[in-house]
Chain A
Amino acid sequence: MIRTISELEQFRSNLSAKKDSARPCVVVCTGASCQALGATGVIGALRKELEKHRLANAVDIKEAGCLGFCNRGPLAVVHPGELCYLGLTPDDAPEIVSQTLKGKLVERLTYFDSATGKNIPHLPDIPFYKAQTRILSGNNAKISPWSIDDYISSGGYSALAKAFSMTPEAVLSEIKKSNLRGRGGGGFPTGRKWETARNAAEPTKYVIVNAHEGEPAAFMDRSILTGNPHSVLEGLIIGAYAISASRGFIYIRHDSLRLSDIVANAVQQARDYGFLGENILSSGFDFKLELHKDIGIFVSGESSALMTAIEGRVPEPRPKYIRTSVSGIWGKPSNLNNVETWANVPLIINKGAEWYASIGTEGSKGTKLISLSGNITNAGVIEVPLGTSLRDIVYRIGGGVDNGKKLKAVHIGGPLGGSIPDKLLDTPLDFDELSKIGAPMGAGGITVMDESICMVDMAKYFLDFLSGESCGKCVPCREGLKQMRKILDKIIKGKGSEQDLKLLLEIAEVTRDASLCALGRTATNPVLSTLRYFKNEYEAHINEKRCLGGGHHQVTKE
């Protein structure tokens, strides 16, 4: 149990005194994708190899969280030197161990840069990483998500200590000055949300981490929580202090087993160390935190639905025009932020709002984690300063389309986002700029599509997803999505007419304008954006009975 700020600093210096920085360490990524690709087998083989040669004390093996280069895993980073090995198999273990002990490189496992024809051994030099700014995700390669000591030795919980030396008002004002905006989709100013909850008359207040992340092709929050869970906890405790909330919840889907194990472990460690509970670090501030695991459908991630679920009721958005930061869980002021939003908080407190606001654009500050997927050479979870152009994300980091085909569209923001054509790729990653072009950033999923993708089919994919994931409570969302799906199906099969196209737009506008919650109001984005930028594809199906994609489906000819 760490009781005071000076005990924390003493503990931190003891940890670094114990650390032997000269000892080689193989950090293996155990993110979801690397695990699926066989990281566990690689780790087992490495440990076996070390045991065989009685070297267990000579080389450390660290199981780290997500390192981001997902389609090139399992990947490992070897220290000293930050050497990056990709696409590992258990058979590579003997060579990695023997060469690492000699301080040598296994060149065949390093990144091959086709542009220069050379191998790039050091992780920071690989173009995929070089063009990123990993202020939130960079520590993933240094710490084990299971170890609070790792987090503390890399500076963890120093922001909490600093916050306790400030007044709650000063902490709030720092967050307001940073211009941090919510990363869950809405982009609402975090400081203003906190202020509303803080100023609400009711003294019992709650803070919530929304770790639902229910959309397809989005793994930013998973990457943070399974890579550096304490960064989220620290941000949450700081937020609770600023808002004056004494109780918090972390909402997790029931099917994220590894994630919930890691978070549960982190919460227990934080309790044991005294960062949760009563009189934290002798500040006089008390804070209790619990995990809420739920059978969540997509709409459960909507803030009022999520709070209804925490109350123990069916997760449906509530029909009220009162902010949850004024009246949320059990009618108490409840401040909900997304995982990534909370993870930004310790950085802002430690380095100051001015530093934070120096990253990004006028209206969108800081960095953003992006799940980059689809027909792209380098897929994974990346982190870039807001304001980075979509073109840089797709080409400099993503390496462009992976199969020699032409790029047709980039879809931003998942099922509630929009698709844009190649000519708009110079748009910066910015909450307001992306909304203007009909492709709101959402939580940060970017899917690249080549010329073989049928955009009508793509829009239908998202509608299929949404009509099952909507709660079905209000008419425009439930019935509107259903009828739009039917029309898209008709068009895809070559049975659509110009009138169907007109009707599609009519339904989409009503669903957008009249739905009860944000799901229905934004569910039409895939349809509206494809009607805006790819109308020719709809027309080709209708008028020429032809699909402009690569023949994923047959268009019936009369």
Chain B
Amino acid sequence: MSNEVLLTIDGNEVKACEGMTLFEAARNAGINIPTLCHHDKLEPYGVCRICTVEIESRGRKSLVAACIYPVENNLVVNTRSEKVVRIRKMLLELMLAYAPESKALQQLAQEYGISQTRFEKEPSFCILCGLCVRYCMEVEKKNALMFIGSGDKREVAFVPQIASQECQSCKRCFALCPTQALQANFVLTQALISRRDPDST
């Protein structure tokens, strides 16, 4: 039996268990923290930063990702402070530039009062949340997907040797994609594979 932890989230006293994240503790208390890269079946990843919240601990304020920050006794959490909202708005604008069609993004944008992004639209149809890559690695344990490139050259790619064997009968990662990009990417890769090697299926 894990120890009970008491903390304050948005002014409400919240009970949580040791080892929980702020995201989980908030959700149990009915407080919704938005996220684009978190999934209950997968290890916390902490990359979209949309779940950033402001915490106060021993008199010091800081900004942390709720999906990975562990609960602590007496922690004061603000999930909608002015700073937090400013960060979420900017992150949404940044992501909207390359996945303007994403329903998940559009919904959040509406919630945060963003009608359009100030950045030049360069749709790549992928926000690099890594849900597909992590699902394939952690749940299916196939590793048919991976990230390639670093910095702003980062992208999701299928590993042709594995994808040509595994993906046709699975495709379970498709449902996780917040931008429908995966499908396009997969179809493209498949085309490439069959062009290179007409015998493979």
Q: Do A and B assemble together?
A: yes
Query: Measuring CB to CB, which residues of chain A are less than 8 angstroms from any residue of chain B?
Result: 297, 299, 314, 319-322, 466-476, 478-483, 486, 503, 506-507, 509-510, 513-516
In the complex, the answer to whether B90 meets A321 with C-beta atoms within 8 Å is no
Q: What per-residue 1/0 map shows which CB atoms of B63-93 lie under 8 Å from chain A?
A: 1110011100000000000010011001100
Q: How far is A527 from B71 in the complex, measured between Cα atoms in Å?
A: 34
Q: Quick check: A468 and B48 within 8 Å, CB to CB?
A: no
Whether the pair A472, B63 counts as a contact (CB closer than 8 A) is no
Closest beta carbon of chain B to A90's beta carbon, Å:
43
Chain A nearest CB, measured from B99 CB (Å): 11
**Smallest CB-CB separation from A297: which chain B residue?**
B150
Are A475 and B48 closer than 8 Å at their CB atoms?
yes
Task: Check if B154 sits within 8 Å of A473, measured CB to CB.
Answer: yes
Nearest first, the 3 A-B pairs at minimum CB distance are A319-B46, A472-B154, A479-B94
B149, CB-defined interface residue at 8 Å: yes
Q: How far is the CA of A459 from the CA of B150 in the complex (A)?
A: 21
Instruction: Collect the chain B residues with CB atoms within 8 Å of residue A314's CB.
Output: 147
Residue of B whose beta carbon sits closest to that of A506 = B90
B141 CB–A CB distance under 8 Å: no
Q: How far is the CA of A475 from the CA of B50 in the complex (A)?
A: 9
State whether B47 touches A474 (Cβ < 8 A).
yes
Determine the chain A residues whose CB is within 8 A of the CB of B90 once the complex forms.
476, 480, 506-507, 510
- With the chains together, A507 CA to B52 CA distance in Å? 15
- A467 and B44 alpha carbons, distance in the complex (Å): 24
Q: How far is the CA of A506 from the CA of B117 in the complex (A)?
A: 14
Q: List B contacts of A468 (CB < 8 A).
A: 150-153
CB atoms of B153 and A472 under 8 A apart: yes
- Report 9 cross-chain contacts, Cβ distance below 8 Å, ordered by A residue: A297-B150, A319-B45, A319-B46, A470-B151, A471-B154, A474-B48, A479-B95, A514-B63, A514-B91
* Interface core residue of B49, B151, B153 (most chain A CB under 10 Å): B151
Q: Say which residue of A474, A481, A503 sits within 8 Å of B49 (CB atoms).
A: A474
Q: Are A516 and B118 in contact (CB under 8 A)?
A: no
B87 to chain A, nearest CB (A): 5
Bound CA–CA A322/B64 (angstroms): 13
Taking a contact as CB atoms closer than 8 A, the residue among A319, A321, A466, A479 that contacts B70 in the complex is A321
Shortest distance in angstroms between A524's beta carbon and chain B's nearest beta carbon?
Answer: 13
When chains A and B are docked, how far (Å) is the Cα of A466 from the Cα of B150? 10
Task: State which of B45, B83, B95, B151 has its C-beta within 8 Å of the C-beta of A471.
Answer: B151
Return chain A residues, CB-CB under 8 Å to B63. Answer: 513-514
Q: Which residues of B contact A503 (CB under 8 A)?
A: 118
Q: Are B128's CB and A510's CB within 8 A?
A: no
Q: Are A482 and B46 in contact (CB under 8 A)?
A: no
What is the CA–CA distance of A314 and B52 in the complex, to the nearest angstrom? Answer: 25
What's the Cα separation between A320 and B46 when bound, in Å? 8
Nearest chain A residue, comparing its CB with the CB of B46: A319
Contact B44 A319, beta carbon cutoff 8 Å: yes
Could you tell me if B150 and A469 are in contact, using CB atoms closer than 8 angstroms? Answer: yes
Q: Which chain A residues lie closer than 8 Å to B120 at the CB level?
A: 486
Contact of B154 among A322, A478, A514, A515 (CB under 8 A): A478
Q: Does B119 contact A (CB under 8 A)?
A: yes
How near does chain B come to A186, taking the closest CB pair, in angstroms?
Answer: 16
Are A483's CB and B151's CB within 8 A? no
State which residues 88-118 of B face A: CB under 8 Å: 90-91, 94-95, 97-98, 118
Contacts of A467 in B (CB 8 A): 151-152
CA distance in complex: A314, B150 (Å): 11
Determine the distance from Cα of A474 to Cα of B120 in the docked complex, in whole angstroms. 20
A98 and B175 CA atoms in complex are apart in Å by 81
Q: Is the CB of A510 within 8 A of B150?
A: no
A319-B47, A515-B49, A516-B46 known; A472-B150 Cβ under 8 A: yes
A478/B119 in contact, CB under 8 A? no
Find chain B residues with CB under 8 A from A475 CB: 47-50, 91, 94-95, 127-128
**Chain B nearest CB: distance from A284 CB in Å?**
38
Distance in Å: Cβ of B148 to nearest Cβ of chain A: 10
Return A98 CB to nearest CB of chain B, in Å: 55
Which residue from chain B places its CB closest to the CB of A479 in the assembled complex?
B94
Select the residue from A314, A468, A471, A483 with max chain B CB neighbours within 10 A: A483
Known: A483-B119, A486-B120. A476 touches B91 (CB 8 A): yes
List residues of chain B with CB within 8 A of the CB of A297.
150
Residues of chain B contacted by A469 (CB below 8 angstroms): 150-151
Besides A468-B150, A472-B128, A472-B150, 7 other A-B contacts (C-beta < 8 A) = A470-B151, A475-B47, A475-B95, A475-B128, A476-B90, A480-B94, A486-B120
Distance, CA A509 to CA B120, complexed state (A): 20
A473: B residues at CB distance < 8 A: 47, 128, 154
**A483→B46 CA distance, assembly (Å):** 21
Contacts of A514 in B (CB 8 A): 49, 52, 63, 87, 91
A80 to B52, CA, bound (A): 64
For residue B21, which residue of chain A has the nearest CB? A321
- Asked if B151 and A510 make an inter-chain contact with CB atoms under 8 angstroms apart, the answer reads no
- Most chain B CB atoms below 10 A, which of A319, A466, A514: A514
Q: How far does the Cβ of B45 sit from chain A's closest Cβ, in whole Å?
A: 6
Chain A residues in 8 Å Cβ range of B147: 314, 472
Q: Closest B-chain residue to A515, C-beta based?
A: B49
CA distance A483 to B50 in the complex (A): 18
Chain A contacts of B94 at CB under 8 A? 475-476, 479-480, 483, 507
| Closest-CB distance, A103 to chain B (whole angstroms) | 58
Is the CB–CB distance between B149 and A472 below 8 Å?
yes
Provided the pairs A321-B69, A516-B65 are in contact, do residues A478 and B52 lie with their beta carbons within 8 angstroms?
Answer: no
Residue on A with the closest CB to B94? A479
A471 touches B150 (CB 8 A): yes
* A470–B151 alpha-carbon span in the complex (Å): 5
Q: Which of B18-74 contact A (CB under 8 A)?
A: 44-50, 52, 63-65, 68-70
Contacts of A507 in B (CB 8 A): 90, 94
Contacts of B154 in A (CB 8 A): 471-473, 478
Closest residue of B by beta carbon distance from A478: B152
Chain A residues contacting B153 (CB-CB under 8 Å) are 468, 472
B135-177 CB contact bits vs A (8 Å, 1 = yes)?
A: 0000000000001011111100000000000000000000000
Taken together as a complex, chains A and B put the C-alpha atoms of A515 and B63 apart, in Å, by 10
Please measure, in the bound complex, the distance between the C-alpha atom of A457 and the C-alpha atom of B20, giving whole angstroms. 46
Shortest C-beta distance, A481 to chain B (Å), equals: 7
Is A478 in contact with B151, judged by CB distance below 8 angstroms? yes
Which residue from B49, B149, B151 sits with its C-beta under 8 Å from A516?
A: B49
Select from chain B the residue with minimum beta-carbon distance to A520.
B49
A503 to B86, CA, bound (A): 12
A481 CB contacts on chain B under 8 angstroms:
151-152
B64 near A321: Cβ-Cβ < 8 Å: yes
Residue of B nearest to A476 (CB): B49
A363 CB to closest chain B CB, in angstroms?
19
